[in-house]
Amino acid sequence: MNVILLGYPGSGKGTQAKVLAQKFGLFHVSTGDIFREELAKKTPLGQEVAGYLSAGRLVPDKLVLEVLKTRLATETRGLLFDGFPRTVEQAEGLDSWLDSRSMAVDAVIFINVPEAEVAKRLGDRRTCLGCGKIYNMGTRPPAKADACDVCAKKLITREDDKPEVIIRRLQVYRDQTEPLLAYYRASGNFNEVDGGRNPESVAADIAGMLKGK
Ligand code: ADP
Ligand code: ZN
């Protein structure tokens, strides 16, 4: 089973993906996490994508597709995409890659959250430097203000969760990613979930949609 999570930055894709990958035995593919890892390790790829990430702009399609094809070449589990595809070109690239391996996209889940809500969430988001756990200082604060409940490492504000960059990312989503909704709505395995509720309810709904796929 190959699944795509769609939605605004801050709609909860990463949070949901972690739960669902575990539950369904899928391989969680987060292009954002891949690029941040490369950046942290200062690899040539990391250096190439640094400027795009800090500006909240998209990494060029060709590069994104290349990186994924390399990383996924030997993966045999079902794939759970989080943050990819982000443009129609990427979606087409994914379709032809899956097709060449006699696979397809089995479900697309659009996590619907109003833009005003995601803007607020991104501003309130903190990420654990150690284990990657995501907190919301408004609705899901950690027990201690700047330490992770799980691993006690420091919580940080992601570089691209700063106000100017948030505005840019939302704009990029509207311009380049929202057209994907029409692309996938036409495909017959499109599902929509109300992402404005607590993460457990959202996860339960999505799990229901994926059962039997
Ligand atoms: P969010 O969904 O919260 O914006 P991500 O972690 O998915 O965050 O992505 C962070 C950044 O990584 C994006 O703003 C972009 O620069 C880059 N990126 C991630 N995935 C893609 C992609 N599929 N195509 C192009 N750029 C991407
Ligand atoms: Zn942690």
Residue ranges making up the domain that contains 38:
3-114+172-210
**111-148 pLDDT tens trace:** 999 999 999 999 999 999 999 898 999 988 999 989 99
pLDDT at 188: 85
pLDDT at 212: 80
Which residue out of 18, 36, 86, 121 is catalytically annotated? 86
**Nearest bound ligand to the CA of residue 147:** 2
Q: Is residue 133 part of a domain?
A: no
pLDDT band of 57, cuts 50, 70, 90: very high
Closest CA to 203 of 14, 1, 2, 8: 14
CA distance 31 to 177: 14
The CA 119 to ligand 2 mean position distance, Å, reads 24
pLDDT at 82: 98
Tokens of 21: 């990958």
Q: Is residue 192 part of a domain?
A: yes
**33-48 pLDDT tens trace:** 999 999 999 999 999 9
- For residues 196 and 113, the answer to whether their CB atoms sit within 8 Å is yes
Tokens of 187: 């495909």
Q: Is residue 152 part of a domain?
A: no
pLDDT band of 183, cuts 50, 70, 90: very high
pLDDT at 213: 82
What CATH code is carried by the domain that includes residue 28? 3.40.50.300
pLDDT at 135: 92
The protein residue with its alpha carbon nearest to ligand 1, atom 18, reads: 32
Q: Is residue 156 part of a domain?
A: no
pLDDT band of 202, cuts 50, 70, 90: very high
Q: Is residue 148 part of a domain?
A: no
Q: Is residue 145 part of a domain?
A: no
Average pLDDT over residues 155-163: 92
Q: What is the domain count for the chain?
A: 1
Pairing relation of β-strands 125-128 and 79-82?
unpaired
Q: Is residue 140 part of a domain?
A: no
CA distance 138 to 203: 20
How large a percentage of the chain has pLDDT more than 90? Answer: 94
The protein residue with its alpha carbon nearest to ligand 1, atom 2, reads: 9
CA distance 10 to 127: 12
Residue with tokens 């696979």: 103
Q: Is residue 11 part of a domain?
A: yes
CA distance 110 to 7: 6
The larger pLDDT score, comparing residue 134 to residue 206, is at 206
Beta bridge partners of 4: 81, 108
pLDDT at 100: 95
Residue 110 scores a pLDDT above 90:
yes
The residues lining ligand 1, judged by C-beta closer than 6 Å to any ligand atom, are 9-10, 31-32, 35, 52-53, 56-59, 64, 83-84, 86, 90, 160, 169
Residue 208 scores a pLDDT above 90:
yes
Q: Is the omega angle on the peptide bond into residue 85 within 30 degrees of 0, that is, cis? A: yes
Average pLDDT over residues 187-206: 95
Catalytic status, residue 158: yes
